[in-house]
Each structure stands twice: as structure tokens, then as C-alpha cells.
Chain A
């Protein structure tokens, strides 16, 4: 049997939708089978919370008197990009101040704003006939700005690599602290709770999908950068490497510091800890089957991050059950594992989203347009102008 988006939306509006978290649904399928589960359940809620570097927020600060055409902008000392109209600026999560203080980057300023704090805004300019002011030094908060919008170009990776380190020294990476001689291995996916791993071919997640974003509501606005659906997959279609990703947008003013955090990766930089949840409508048995996927059926590759190349050797493939067990075997050694993605928060997000859908506070959306499955992820080579043309 099949259900349309419209039928499921009507059930949500009428308060009749049967909604389960991804973990509850997997158990339900084990107990009742795919066919009955597809019939009984309307929506499955997923969740993930992890470091999502390609994130940032844009602001419209309003106009000062006399007004200024901001040419350089700092928010609590962190430079924001303002090559836009006079008082618009974009603050990137990984941006650092001039001293490279990694304990307080763009992501930390975004967290401070979400916590309701005031942030020092400095701007300089050359002055124009219409914007005569050359300097501005003031404070702003989410209460004072016109728009504060989280706008992220790549979030919510569908699967990610496992990092380890064969070298003799500790490595400090975006995958965390990697101890020497295979001292540990780190991974960064919510596995069976992760949104895109429950919809491996992006049937229900596309442009226009309404999502839980940082505690508020947001939308998927495009494929994420580096979108790469053509990676090796299991016979069930689950990607075994980093594959899809999404670009998202949402009102920062709705968000909560429970799901938006400034993170520091020592000697690497800053990133944004962000919570995303996506409701997946169970349109048919195929969707029920994809949402039934469990950690023992999701695989990824282990890479040696001491290899300074973009194409590192795959040391082995490993399932998320093995990663979650606390250790994996690499080259004959038992190596302790760490997650960079919070399972506790992923569960919390799936649960909150379930309750919001049940209460009718969160409506599911049919994608306006699905992602293109023929996208490829191209490398950057040093080329001549002719070769690039």
C-alpha cells in the first residue's frame, strides 16, 4: 500500500498521524515486518548532532545615523564578510580573529547570540556621499538586528569517514585528537538515527523539506556542497562513504543553545555543533525498508589521517555497530573508538521532533524539487587557464 504526501499531511493536520522516532521504528519493523510497519506508521523522525563546519549566519544590522556602508565588520572581534549591501554581513563558523584564538571563533559568537548575549559590532568604511560614516562601534543582539539567519552550505553528511593515526605523533585534526600508533579512532555520524542514512536515495528529503534546525524550524534549500551520491553502496543502497549532504536555512532567533554550540578542535580551528532532525514520511514499503536500516547494516571506511593526501588508503570497512561497541580491530590491534556525533542529542532531537509533529506544530513538506543523482565530487588540481576552460 502507498500513502501520498497529501494524505500524510492531512493526518498531521487532523492530529491522526502515527509518528515514531527512527529507533522506535526499527524495533517496530523487527517485531511486525516491513509490510505492516509501512501501513501502520506515517512518519519516522531522525536526528543528528555534530560538528558541521560549513555553517554560518547572515545578519542585517539596521542603519546607524549617520549611516555607514560597512566595508569591514567584526563581531566580538571575529571578521564577518560584508561584500554585500551596506549593513548585511555573513559570519562563518570557522572564522577566527587576527590572533587565531581557537577558543572563540565565529561559531562561538553565533552561540553567544543564541544565548541572548549582546555582541560588540565594529565596522569601518571609506565613506560615500550616501553613507558618510566611516567608523562604528556598538553592541547588537538577536533583539536588535532585523534578520539573523543561519545559512549553511553543507550540513548533515550522509555517512562520514573513520579517522585513525599510524604515525609516531599525536595529530590534531577536524576529526579530533588522534593518538599515535593507532591509539584511537574517531567517527562522526549518528548512524541509524542520521537523517540521510534513512532516506538513502533522497526520495523524501529534497529542496523545500521542512527540518528541525538548531531547535527551531528551517528548510533544506539545496543539495549540500560536495554532494556525492555515486559512492559505493551496500546492496540495500546505503552509502559506504560520505555521500549526500544538504544546504539549510533557518531563523537564528528561534534556535536554542541546546542545539547550537561553538566547538574547538585544538590546533585545527572552530566549528559549529549543530542539531538537525528530519521527519521522513513512510510513503510505501520501500521507505519503510530504508528507515528500518540498523547500525550493523551501515558501513564506512577507516582512513589513516597521517597520510597527507586527499586520497588516503582505506584501511578497512567497519559497521556502526562495531564503532559503537567501543573498539575496532585495525591491523591486528584493538583500537578504542570515539564518536564526535552525540547520540544522546540525536535521540533528544528525534524525540522532540516526534512530539512536535504529533502536536501539529511541525508540518511535513513534499520536496519542491529532488536532488540530482548525477552530481559528482570533483577534485581541485593545479591547472593552466586553458585546462580549466
Chain B
């Protein structure tokens, strides 16, 4: 099983080997899609692979250590009333979460592919994209 999560670390939690423990103690394969740290703590976007039970325990371990856990779907949101489907975002999206469908002429947004990098936010002319993390 695979899942993508957005983690928010407090400044204290940023000093703990939390990612190491996910791998070593919970037997998860961790793919770091995005990581950053500043004076307010850290943010990470991870793809976790492993047995469903191990993923559940791993997420519990994170919560117990005061790491905020949110599903990736809550990373970037598109306002469909604002989007004009021009397609400016398509060529800059590194994971192809934003893609052009030539049949409909519309831009599709596959939330599961999004890593919440935020590159699309300031590229969108009508400002339809919003980053939530």
C-alpha cells in the first residue's frame, strides 16, 4: 500500500530522527517528495509504502510525537470557478498533476500526483490555485 502525507514539524520535533524511525522501526519505504525547514519548524511531503498495518502504526507514531499529519489532498486546492483552463500551469508542474486533456480542452488536476510544491501558485494568471500547507 502507498499513501502520500503532508507533515508539519514543530521546532522541537525538527531535531528528532523521525524519518529514520519511520523506516527503521515501522518498516516503511519513505520517498521524500519535498522538505523544508525554517524558524517555524519543518514541512515534509512523504510517500509512504508498506503494509497497511505498518502505515497505520507509523502515522500513529508521528501523531504521538506531535507531528501534524494531513493527507496530500489538503495540500493544494484549485478553485474551479476561477480556473479558465488556459493551461499555463501544465508545463511547470513537475509531477504532471496538472495536465491538459486535448479532448475536452480542459486542464485536469490529479490531487494524488500533487506534491504541494507550490510552483503553480504564482504562475496561474486568474489565481485559481491555493496552497494550504
Contacts and interface: CB of A to CB of B under 8 A. Distances in A.
B91 A186 contact: yes
B42 interface: no
Contacts of A183: 91-92
A261 interface: yes
Contact of A103 (B86, B100, B127): B127
Interface residues of B, number: 19
> Main SS of the interface on chain B?
loop
Could you say which of B84, B89, B122 has the most chain A C-beta atoms within 10 Å of its C-beta?
A: B84
Interface in B55-97: 84-92
Nearest to B104: A344
A342 B101 CA distance: 12
A179 B94 CA distance: 11
B20 interface: no
Interface residues of A, number: 34
Contacts of B105: 342-344, 346-347
B41 interface: no
A294 to B, nearest CB: 14
Contacts of A9: none
Contacts of A324: 102
A338 B98 CA distance: 11
Contacts of A341: 86
Given A271-B125, A344-B104, A179 B88 contact: no
Given A324-B102, A326-B100, A179 B92 contact: yes
B25 interface: no
Contact of B92 (A103, A184, A346): A184
A341 B85 CA distance: 8
Interface of B: 84-92, 100, 102, 104-106, 122-123, 125-127
